[in-house]
Chains A and B, each alone.
Chain A
Amino acid sequence: MSLVVAEVTKRFRDITAVDQLSFTVREGALFGFLGPNGAGKTTTMRVILGILKPEEGQVTWKGRPLDRLGPGFYGYLPEERGLYPKMRVAEHLEFLGRIHGLDRTRARREVDRWLERFELGAVRSKRIEELSKGNQQKVQVIGTMLHDPELLILDEPFAGLDPVNAGLLKEVLLEAHGRGKTIIFSSHRMEQVEEICQDIALINLGRLVLHGNLRQIKKAMGRQILRLSLEGNLDFWAKIPGLQLVAERADYLEFKLEDGLDPNRVLAEAMEAGQVIRFELVEPSLDQIFLEKVGAGA
């Protein structure tokens, strides 16, 4: 267990943004940090980064307090992106590398390498303000990764990226993960989290709602999702207690099975009602878990 957030409380005057929050992130994990708007994600990230001092609790990395860590330890991509608009791309990146502790030679080498990787070589001498929004995003991402930080904290990293660049970012994140770096990122896009994260924490109103291995969480949710496609009497399910229609898709119906309802009984009833084309038990998606835990209003 590497990054430990222990009983952290952060208040702004009379508003408690983060309330007795505890969770751990394994070293080398790709960690999804989820929650609706205003849940306290950004505040928690800032506490982890040491930008904000919590009123209670503490954050440690391998047992050490965070203020002992060097300048290159973190890579932070804030949700509100920002660069010096008048600076030139390569100069700006070199500057970001250097404030994160790289020497000049190393910073320049990394800038060249990353610009090539992100296909920004042609704009290296342009001012940031002359770039497209997407390219500015890429520059910002490079600025976060350039110094190869131990701990990457990314606030909504996929927001504003087109599918090609989102794919590129995912690739880069997985590479860093492969080198054993720890990555925490928040996202609204659950399918993205599902695709690349092993561990998640879900918070709401500053409190922890769910935490752990995504697979285990899904298993532990207990309720199974049934996808059924049938030619015949579609009203049969109304007679079965504990079966709840969740969604009517184009080619199948999605049900939720309550605890204690035997799927085989549903199958038997369905076969009586007509020709079963599809009968599939699936785990709930992260989207569904999110909605269930936080509420549809989020």
Chain B
Amino acid sequence: MSVIPVLVKREFTSRVKGTAYILTTLVGVLVFVGLSFLPPLMERLSSTLMPKSIDLVVMDHGAEPSLFPYLVELGQAREGLTIRDASSWDERDAYRLVLDEGLSGLLLIDGPLTTLVTPDSKNVVLNEEIENLVNQAATMWKAAQLGLTPAEMESLFNAVDFRIREVRPQQEDGTEVDHAAQTQAMVLAYFLLFMIYMALIMYGNMVASGVAEEKSSRIMEVMISTVKPLELMFGKIIGVGALGLVQFVIWISTGLAMALMGRTGLMRALLGMTEPLKAVPLDSILWFGLFFLLGYFFYASIFAAAGALVSRVEEVSQVVSLLMMFIVVGFFGAYLSFLNPNSGFAVTASLIPFTAPMVMFARIMLADPPLAQVAASVAIMLCSIVVGTWISSKIYRIGILLYGKRPTLRQVVQLLKG
């Protein structure tokens, strides 16, 4: 019987009960719930910042364009907006009125130049609102100059009805693309992609520091007298992977539950996801699972080898920083692929093992890449996992007995040849 299950069990149980693991899981859940509620909260908060009423005194010197009549028109149409004429007043009296009665401000209109005299120039929200009003009045004036009717005016601002249809080889009539559905797919893809990215970094680091811990605590010496290095490495990788899977199942369930309940929250705020999720996107979750595992197994073995090269846990971050760069590049590659999932760049990146797990996943989520490309990507990942694990296990085998100065890259290559 193999010892791998025993190693996996130790890795899993000793960490799953740990404060660090429980805390990060809980914090993750709180973040997901919190983010889902954050934008409505922000909306409510910002509405309290908005002025309830705007009370303006206007001094229009009568030069063209004379905006006062249009401001009055706006004031009649809009609730909470009061416009008073002070054109014949002395400017100082107008100032006094603004200060004494706590008005929103005094507008000095002199042809194309409009000046707002305000008791509070720092109130950005209010002042912007007033600027908008003046601009609206200016547009109305211009429309009147051109002799446009209100209907003509409105048609000026009407957008074109722009739709997209996609033709596919099997379906030549062209299907209309449901924009809302596409946005939803994109938001979901982005969310899951971010999860893969997080998982690779978090659990890759956990593997590397786990190996370094075993080395620095010297438990490694006892282990390798009875367990083969390859078994040790797999025990660690599978154990940490299981921890990751549990944590991500919890997090993603939380995120999806929020989306199903209509709490699209941050996704809506950032990416314009307006409708609540209608059903659990099972195929997306399965693709996520596949590329999560492919990416994790590829990177984890390399992280394990990196961890085996250092003598102390403190040094881990130095050796893994290079690996993290690859993951970051993969993430940005996938992000760029979002803009054009079938570009040459995206196709190439989805076939390179370092970037494939994230880029191919992004492409599948957004477009329907040819099956051959998906198969090629998965096959390349599987081969890379075998080759990567093989090379890593050799480095690992040598590394776990090395203490003292960290070997240089050249020395590692020499060791591999020897």
Contacts and interface: CB of A to CB of B under 8 A. Distances in A.
Answer yes or no: are A and B bound together in one complex.
Answer: yes
Contacts of B18: 86
B230 to A, nearest CB: 14
A76 B7 contact: no
Contact of A76 (B6, B217, B225): B225
Contact of B222 (A52, A71, A82, A87): A82
Interface string B33-67: 00000000000000000000000000000000000
A74 interface: yes
A81 B218 contact: yes
B3 A71 contact: yes
A99 B7 contact: yes
Nearest to A77: B222
Contacts of A96: 222
A78 interface: yes
B225 A83 contact: no
B125 interface: no
A237 interface: no
Nearest to B2: A71
Contact of B218 (A51, A78, A153): A78
B222 A84 contact: no
A82 B3 contact: no
Contacts of A35: none
Contact of A85 (B217, B224, B225): B217
A100 B401 contact: no
A143 interface: yes
B315 interface: no
A49 interface: yes
B217 A99 contact: no
Interface string B214-236: 10011111111111000000000
Given A86-B18, A153-B225, 12 more contacts: A50-B225, A71-B3, A71-B227, A78-B221, A80-B218, A82-B219, A84-B219, A85-B217, A91-B14, A95-B10, A96-B222, A143-B222
Interface of A: 46, 49-52, 71-72, 74, 76-78, 80-87, 91, 95-96, 98-101, 140, 143-144, 153
Interface of B: 3, 6-7, 10, 14, 18, 214, 217-227, 401
24 contacts: A49-B225, A51-B225, A52-B401, A71-B3, A71-B226, A71-B227, A78-B221, A78-B222, A78-B225, A80-B218, A81-B218, A82-B218, A82-B221, A82-B222, A83-B217, A84-B217, A86-B14, A95-B6, A95-B10, A99-B3, A99-B6, A99-B7, A140-B222, A143-B222
